[in-house]
Amino acid sequence: MNEFIQKTLINRLLSFFKITDTRLLKRLSMLVGIFSILFVLIAIDFSPKAITGLEVSKPSPETIRAPRAITLLDVGKTLELRKQAAESISTVFRFNEAVPAKVRSRVKAFYQKLGAALAKEDVDEGERRKTVSKLLPETADQLDLDWILSLDQERVSGLERKTLDLAMSVITEKINEEQLGAKQAEVKRRAMADDDPQAGRLIGAIATNNIKANTFVDTKKTNAAISEAVDKVESVYVQKLSGETIVTEGQIVTSFQEQFLKELGLAESLGGSSNSQVVGQGLIAFGLIVLGLIYLYEFQPKVYSDNRLLMLVFVILATVSALAKGLAPLLSPYMIPAAGAAMLTTILIRARAGVMMAITTGLVTGLIVDSPEYWLFAFMTGLFAVYLTAHISHRSDLTKAGLWIMFASGLTAYATSLVHGDVGFSLLINAGWGLLGGFVAIIFTIGTLQFLEYAFNITTDMKLLELSNPNQPLLRELMVNAPGTYNHSIITGNLVESVALKVGANPLLARTGAYYHDIGKMRRPFFFIENQYGDNPHDKTQSNLSYLIITSHVKDGVAMAKKNRLPNEIIDIINQHHGTTLMTYFYSRALKEDPNSTVLEAQFRYHCEKPKSREAALIMLADAVEATARTLEKPTLNRVEHMVKKLIKDRLVDGQLDESDLTLAQLETTAKVFAQTLTTMYHTRIEYPEIEPTSKKDKEALIGRPGGKSIRRSNKAIGS
């Protein structure tokens, strides 16, 4: 019995790890990676100090000699020599042999058009003047148009030859962009040497207008020459013999000298931190990860359960921390875009995650900078950034938010400087750094937002607004190829948007998803009733084939959406908007076509996923009620409301809404809003009576005497 129990437990454990090993390993690997990178960013000091008291850029407390011979690469000197070699290479130019031929062609084309315009005899002088004026280049404002209009064909041919001779004599020389202006001036001077000043001005204008640069930088050959010169530079190695002095007492220690000391084991610590400090920093990194996961588990379960979103949070945090590591030694810490991290997290995920990012980024960058005042600055500006970006839906709004963040950063930097004890000009300098830091934060946000949206396939409200624009290629194609479906999709979008906010759904996602839910109908638009203008092709098609054609629009829509890189949320809506509903029309027709055959419901059901979100469920219901509302003869409120409630009840009983989290109360709200909206859209219009046309005599009496003076009408006469 004990042996049986042991085997059962082992099998259960093995089955657990078999099921979850991939997901568990991915999560553990990601967390270990996050911890490692965060620990390195916090603990490692990239400007190391020796434990003996040596420090780069400070005097050495003692004279140190090499205990053994050693040879090291002098990276700085080597790079300097390679830079000098690269700068010594002249730029390589390439002559474009096609340019002279193009110049000849353009000059000849101009004179051909000019000759043709002057030779026209069936146009008046004004039209000819206008035509010739359009042919002349903009630089030809000093030309005598009357003189040009008086030219005959022989004179035009002579001017053409002179222009070609002048232009070709110059364009065959090598001319780069810097020399172009001088060459054009030279052409004008040579042209004015003609005996006829008017002819010289025309020749100069046409030749100058067509002279272009024909020599361009050959980037490939230039880079190859630079690479060759750099490769020829030999690396510089420095040798220290045993007993030779590395650094003398009082000498300023250089990084290259420190490299010798570390290589010789005379500077054992690479980080400048004691073992206890390193342990403490590791515990802080571990604690931040644990607390962050707890916060996400409690308040952002969607982010916690999604490795993709977890990785996004980490990438933002790690990027800003790395920037802090690089910027802090060089510039003011106020330049670190901590507020940008909070903005990105708020826009890409939501405000609660943004608050967590503001706190975490402030702590991490504060540890890196080693300044409590900066942590206060990062925390306050981060929270303010979350507030400003929590409801942004247009990319242009980011610029407005950026101006406020700049102001808040400058003010906060000024306040934290006061706390630190700064006075006078230092306060203004720090306030200026704060303003500049706010600008860097908004540039960081705008610059990385679209990349992160694409890389992590995140659907923001800004992305949804762009997709809902009628000028989007898929929507334009739908409007052209399936106008009835396009109209149905727009109405469906209006329906779901009217109710989405009341039931806790995203109105923008619901509307955008409705616009795209039937894009698959573009493949065979005339098989769908809303796009038909004549015969119904299903009348000549077997029911099972019609079923396959109709249901295929879901698969086709998903394929189109993936090809056009629509967000996953939209693809899910396309795939789920019919669920596993029964196609009752073709099922009933199949039963009538062959009463003796065994026709199963399953053969006429959609084989798709059921709606898993409120937005997808609303679109399923709106899709059905909008199509059915068109069939009502007198769409009164009672009839529409009865129809809507019946359709919703049918979907509910059929189990189509089981996987969505819509409650019965929310379904009741949905039915009421749908009924009111549809009644407004499809209410019965009154029939306007026909009005007998007014006789000619009555018209004349109203508007004036026939053929005579008009009669002034009073307000009463015209019915006002």
pLDDT single digits (tens) 593-617: 777 667 788 888 998 999 999 999 9
Does 546 lie in the same domain as 440?
no
pLDDT at 701 over 70: no
Q: What is the pLDDT of residue 202?
A: 82
Residues 437 and 517 both lie in one domain: no
Give the angle 537-538-542 at the CA atoms, nearest 5°.
130
Cβ density class 185-200: b for 16+ within 10 Å, e for less:
eebbebbeebeeeebb
Residue 500 binned pLDDT confidence (cut-offs 50, 70, 90): very high
Q: What is the pLDDT of residues 181-190, one digit of tens each?
A: 888 888 888 8
pLDDT tier for residue 48 given thresholds of 50, 70 and 90? very low
Domain that holds residue 100: 93-217
**Judgement on whether residues 435 and 562 belong to the same structural domain of the protein:** no
Give me the pLDDT at residue 278, please: 66
Contact 448, 458 (CB under 8 A): no
Which residue, of 423, 458, 493, is where some domain finishes? 458
Largest CA distance in the chain: 127
Tell me the C-alpha distance between 668 and 621, whole Å: 12
In a domain, 619, yes or no: yes
Question: Does any domain span residue 431?
Answer: yes
Distance, CA of 175 to CA of 183 (rounded, Å): 8
Which of the four pLDDT bands, split at 50, 70 and 90, describes residue 680? confident
pLDDT greater than 50 at residue 342: yes
Residue 489 and residue 636 share a domain: yes
pLDDT over 80 (residue 345): yes
Domain-embedded: residue 691 = no
The more confident residue out of 412 and 177 is: 412
Contacts of 661 (CB under 8 A, 6+ apart): 614
CATH number for the domain spanning 341: value is 1.10.1760.20
554 and 443 assigned to the same domain:
no
User: Positive or negative CA dihedral for 352, 357, 360, 366?
Assistant: negative
Whether residues 499 and 566 fall in one domain: yes
Residues 486 and 451 in one domain: no
Binned at pLDDT 50, 70 and 90, residue 95 comes out as confident
Give the side-chain half-sphere CA count within 13 A for 588: 3
What is the rounded average pLDDT of the residues 385-406? 84
Residues 357 and 403 in one domain: yes
**488 and 448 within one domain:** no
Mean pLDDT on 706-720: 39
How far are the Cα atoms of 656, 682, 692 from residue 689, in angstroms, in the given order?
A: 48, 21, 10
Residue 25 confidence (pLDDT) above 60? yes
131-144: b (≥16 Cβ within 10 Å) or e: bbeeebeeebeebe
At 555 the pLDDT is 93
Domain with residue 512: its CATH number is 1.10.3210
Domain assignment of residue 464, yes or no: no
pLDDT of residue 558: 94
Does 563 score more than 60 pLDDT? yes
pLDDT band at 478 (very low <50, low <70, confident <90, very high): very high
CB within 8 Å of 137: residues ≥ 6 apart:
205, 206, 209
Weakest mean pLDDT among 63-77, 337-351, 459-473, 519-533:
63-77
Mean pLDDT (the chain) is: 80
Q: Is the pLDDT of residue 41 over 80?
A: no
188 and 131 assigned to the same domain: yes
- Per-residue pLDDT averaged across 538-560, rounded? 88
Q: What percent of the chain has pLDDT over 90?
A: 17
> With bands split at pLDDT 50, 70 and 90, how would you rate the model's confidence at 213?
confident
pLDDT band at 70 (very low <50, low <70, confident <90, very high): low
Q: Is the pLDDT of residue 330 over 80?
A: no
What is the sign of the dihedral through the CA atoms of 53, 56, 58 and 60?
Answer: positive
Q: Looking at the predicted structure, is the pLDDT value of residue 392 above 50?
A: yes
Position 264 in a domain: no
Q: Does residue 390 belong to any structural domain of this protein?
A: yes
Q: How many domains does the chain have?
A: 3
Residues 6+ apart with CB under 8 A from 272: 45, 47, 48, 49
What is the spatial distance between Cα 220 and Cα 204, in angstroms, rounded to a whole number? 36
Domain boundary among 194, 217, 240: 217
Same domain, 325 and 370: yes
Confidence band of 456 (pLDDT split at 50, 70, 90): confident
288-311: pLDDT as tens digits: 778 888 888 888 888 888 888 888
Could you tell me how many helices (H) and strands (E) the chain has, helices first? Answer: 29, 6
Determine, yes or no, domain membership for 513.
Answer: yes
pLDDT of 67: 66
Considering the domain architecture, whether residues 314 and 203 belong to the same structural domain is answered as no
From 217, 232, 264, the end of a domain falls on 217
Instruction: Supply the pLDDT for residue 49.
Output: 40
Q: Using pLDDT thresholds of 50, 70 and 90, give the confidence band for residue 93.
A: confident
Map 147-177 to HEC letters. Answer: HHHCCCHHHHHHHHHHHHHHHHHHHCCCCCH
pLDDT of 47 reads 40
User: Rounded CA gap, 170 and 186, in Å?
Assistant: 9
- Does residue 257 fall inside a structural domain? no
Query: Sorting pLDDT into bands at 50, 70 and 90, what band is 271?
Result: very low
- Best CA proximity match to 360, nearest among 413, 288, 282: 288
